[in-house]
Structure 1
Amino acid sequence: MPFRDGESISYPEGKAEITSIKLRLEPGQQTPFHCHPIPTFGYVLSGKIEVKTKDGNKTIMSEGESAIEVMNTYHRGRAIEGPVEIVVFYAGAEGIPTTVLEGDDGC
C-alpha cells in the first residue's frame, strides 16, 4: 500500500475503538495539516487526491487505491482533477483522538 514512511504500526493501549468516516473534498479543496496518533487506513472511492507531508514528501492516489496513512506525521490532502471521496478507517482506542490538527497536542 502506498504512502508509508517506514515506521512500524503501533496500536494504542486501552479499550479498542474502530471508527470510520467518508470524506469528500471539492476540486482544489485541501484539508488542514493534521496527524493521526493511531493506525489509519484510507480507500479512495472516487477521484484523485494528492497527499503531502510537512517535509514535502507527496503521493497521488486514485479511485480504487488504498493506503496505510503515516502516523504522528503532519500531512494534508488536496483534491486534484475534480472532487474526491475517501473512506477512512481508524484503529484507535476509547478516549484517543483519531485526528490532531497542527498546533494541537497529540502527535
Structure 2
Amino acid sequence: MARIQPTTAFVSAFLALLANTMLQSPAALAHGGSKEKALGIQVETLAKSTQEWDGDTLPAYPRSQPEIQILRITIPAGVTLPLHTHPVINAAVITKGRLEVQLKGGGTREFGAGEALIEVVNRVHFGRALPGSEVEVIVFYAGTPGLPVTVLTP
C-alpha cells in the first residue's frame, strides 16, 4: 500500500490549527463564549437535563436513523388534552399561556410562558391549558422515521 506523505505546508497549517484550538478556553468554544458576547449575541439555556419533568431519568436514544420534528401546538384556554404517551424524547418551550401537565395517577406541574420542560417518555399523562388564555408551545421531538411522537391512550 502506498503511503501518502503530507507536505510541510500541510503539517505546519495543521499544527497551527491544533495549537490555536488547544489554547482556546472551553468557554470560547461553547455557546456564549467571548466571541459571541463581543458581537452582542445572547445565549440562554432554557433546559439541560438527563431527567424528565417529574424527575425520572430519560431513556436511551433509539439506535436507528434519527429524525427531529418540531411542532407548534396551540391549545385553547381551559381545554384538557386526552391521555397520551410519547414514545420519543421531547422537550418544549411554552411561548404563551400556562400549561398544567399531570401523570395518570401521579404528579402535576405547571409551566408558563418562557419556561421549558422535558417531557415524560412512555408514561401516560395529559396536559391542560389553564383558564384565561390559550397555550402555545413549541415541541422538539427526537425520534426515528415512522415512529409516532404521540400515542393516544384508550
Counterpart secondary structure, 1:82: coil
Amino acid at match of 1:55: G
- CA distance in 2 between partners of 1:57 and 1:4 (Å): 7
1:56 aligned onto 2:106: yes
Pick from 81, 84, 87 the counterpart of residue 138 of structure 2: 87
Pick from 61, 74, 92 the counterpart of residue 11 of structure 1: 61
How many residues align? The count is: 103
- CA distance in 2 between partners of 1:41 and 1:8 (Å): 11
Over residues 2-53 of structure 1, what are the superposed CA-to-partner deviations in whole Å (9 max), with x where a residue is unaligned?
A: 7134123321222110001111111111111111111010100011010011
Q: What is the Cα-based RMSD across aligned positions, in Å? A: 1.4
List alignment gaps of at least 5 residues for structure 1. none
- Greater relative CO (CA pairs within 8 A, separation 6+): 1
Q: Which has the larger radius of gyration?
A: 2
TM-score, normalization: structure 2?
0.63
Contact 1:13 1:93 in 2 (8 A): no
Pick from 94, 115, 138 the counterpart of residue 44 of structure 1: 94
Counterpart secondary structure, 2:92: strand
List alignment gaps of at least 5 residues for structure 2. 1-46
TM-score, normalization: structure 1?
0.89
- CA distance in 2 between partners of 1:102 and 1:92 (Å): 19
